[in-house]
Amino acid sequence: MSLLAFTAFVAVGSFGAGLLGSLTGLGGGMVVVPMLTVLFHVDLRYAIGASLVSVIATSSGAAAAYVREGYTNVRVGIFLEVATTTGALTGAAVAGFVPTSALAVLFGLVLLYTAFRSLQSVQEHTSTRPSHPWATRLRLDGTYPADGAMRPYSVQAVPTGFFLMFVAGVLSALLGIGSGAIKVLAMDRVMQLPFKVSTTTSNFMIGVTAAASAGVYLHRGYIDPAIATPVMLGVLLGALLGARILSRARVTWLRTIFTVVVCALAAEMLYKGISGAL
């Protein structure tokens, strides 16, 4: 395959990944890495480096709009970013010493977990319990737009959420994903933030987390412009289109399609990881 054809196919595949990731709210990185390794036979670490670059681009494009609309809790995001950045640097530091087969198996398991999460119903909730002492001291409580008014909410279980963010940062660096599913799980289920606040704050955070990891990958030579550029442009354009058509799309069908694709990629990644084909 010529370089031009390779670039075109990668860009088209990344566009589809960005579109699907945007419509389901789970990000394109979940599809980009297995797509590059399984379909285009790109080395896993180069695929992770390219995915991290695309995560930075897509997060930066959407984060400003969510902050402007009043959904993102910037104080929570900045506080938790300490944990995710530390985790990202830790994961990037050890990534070079972890066998690619082990990374493939880990990625397959994360894909299966993501597919399971994508099928669960999403319910909006607001905690009415008193805030965690750390949340009070750090002034993490906030408000968000709901039913034409600003609805207040309190923040719970801050230490547990902080630890889970460290784990999310490690996975982001090891696998080249935004690890948004884990971030949303920590903020929504553990810290009791409203779901819309959790998703928008996660989007605000993943770009910084990916940037911390990408710096280490760039230093080690794992970011190839010939791969990263079409991936970044494709995912970004797909995510922008997905944001435009989200209101008219049938989310149930989209999540079903996403789950089928992710499960197929997970099975392939697990097989190649266990068999040592990567």
* pLDDT band at 213; cut points 50, 70, 90: confident
DSSP state of 25: T
* Residue of 60 and 140 predicted with greater confidence: 140
- Residues 226-262 have pLDDT tens digits of 999 999 999 888 877 876 775 565 656 666 776 777 7
What's the pLDDT at 243? 66
Which range is least confidently modeled, 45-54, 98-107, 136-145, 221-230? 98-107
* Residue of 213 and 5 predicted with greater confidence: 5
Question: Is the model's pLDDT at 67 over the cut of 70?
Answer: yes
Could you give the CA distance from residue 16 to residue 73 in angstroms, rounded to a whole number? 30
Range with top average pLDDT, 72-76, 115-119, 121-125: 72-76
Average pLDDT value for residue range 261-266 = 75
**First-residue to last-residue Cα distance in the chain:** 20
Range with top average pLDDT, 95-99, 143-147, 179-183: 143-147
Average pLDDT value for residue range 122-147 = 80
Could you give the CA distance from residue 266 to residue 278 in angstroms, rounded to a whole number? 14
Q: Residue 244: CA atoms inside 13 Å, Cβ hemisphere, count? A: 6
